[in-house]
A = this chain, B = another copy of it.
């Protein structure tokens, strides 16, 4: 278990190897997490997301440089959609490495989003844990696109920064609406380009609408993904905090660095807010709960696969396909078979 010592000491090769293990298969991920869990919990995890064209990669690079100047160690995980057609991450590493190369206080890794359901959150969450155990102060997680990945990341991150930029099209506006609700901090990047006033105004209107909705419904936009069906089992410090953190709206020009130092500061403010309000602890709690739930779901499916005879299952699926029974009836039946096998 020499690599564990290497990760703890922050050795780049050991870290890279641990993440590769974690990506490769779930058994390895389990071993890594079990070995490193006790060392984790210190890093500030910051998700950076936004529609295509908003300049996420540039801003992440500038943020990393800014934090490096303040002596913070920074890990970057860039999640790229990938495909067997391209063989993995398209952007990311190479460009970035040129910029931040040779600095042992920065670790950059691109991860593919392809794979099985939940695969993204699984391997990304495990990689975050490796960087956390390796002692990075900040872990910046960049996601491209809009969808489940962003919601997963928002549930993993302490702070979620949502980017926008002037001059993006209508489809982009639609995507933006889907991720606005997960924002702790809003940024209009490319603020030196035409249309910045309109972009800021439109976000301000959405923020205002969101505040009114929150006031009317008590919905604060966070923790949208619930796993166990109830939320009554949360710790006492998870009192509602809506309205106490007023989502700030910043302007940046990542290519020149304009506004980036201020953004870095606001991210630190959010950390302080999370800690003083108790929300840091309640997000940790929710994250642990979701992770345990996911492990339980998997274990049950493994149990099912080993207890239900294959022929029985195939026969039930065929009956559903042929419209003899409905899927709920099939699930009832399989559940009984599994339960009987446990007994």
Report A's interface with B, CB cutoff 8 A. 30, 33-34, 37-38, 40-41, 51-53, 56, 80-87, 90-91, 113-117, 120, 144-151, 169-175, 177-181, 206-207, 209-210, 213-214, 217, 219, 221, 224-230, 232-233, 235, 281, 284-285, 288-289, 291-293, 295-297, 299-302, 304-305, 310, 313-314, 316-318, 320-321, 323, 326-331, 334-335, 338-339, 342-343
Contacts and interface: CB of A to CB of B under 8 A. Distances in A.
14 contacts: A33-B327, A34-B328, A51-B52, A53-B172, A84-B213, A85-B209, A86-B206, A87-B213, A147-B148, A229-B305, A288-B317, A289-B317, A292-B320, A297-B297
A22 to B, nearest CB: 14
A318 B173 CA distance: 40
Contacts of A179: 81, 83
A91 B328 CA distance: 34
A40 B320 CA distance: 11
A37 B207 CA distance: 42
Given A145-B145, A213-B84, A304-B296, A318 B285 contact: yes
Closest 8 pairs (CB-CB, A-B): A147-B147, A81-B178, A148-B148, A52-B171, A295-B331, A37-B326, A300-B300, A288-B320
B80 A224 contact: no
Given A297-B301, A305-B228, A144 B323 contact: no
A230 B309 CA distance: 13
B83 A171 contact: no
Contact of A84 (B217, B235, B321): B217
Contact of A177 (B90, B229, B339): B90
**Copies of the chain in the assembly:** 2
For the complex, would chain A's binding face be called helix, strand, loop or mixed by DSSP majority? helix
Given A114-B224, A115-B224, A301-B228, A85 B206 contact: yes
Contacts of A87: 213
A285 B318 CA distance: 7
Contacts of A313: 228, 233
A38 B320 CA distance: 9
Contacts of A34: 326, 328-329
A248 to B, nearest CB: 16
Nearest to A89: B174
A327 B38 CA distance: 11
Contacts of A86: 177, 206, 209
A252 to B, nearest CB: 17
Given A114-B224, A147-B148, A285-B317, 11 more contacts: A33-B327, A37-B320, A53-B169, A56-B171, A85-B180, A113-B178, A147-B149, A284-B321, A292-B317, A292-B331, A339-B342
A178 B229 contact: no
Contacts of A174: 52, 80-81, 90-91, 144
A297 B300 contact: yes
Contact of A83 (B81, B115, B169, B178): B178
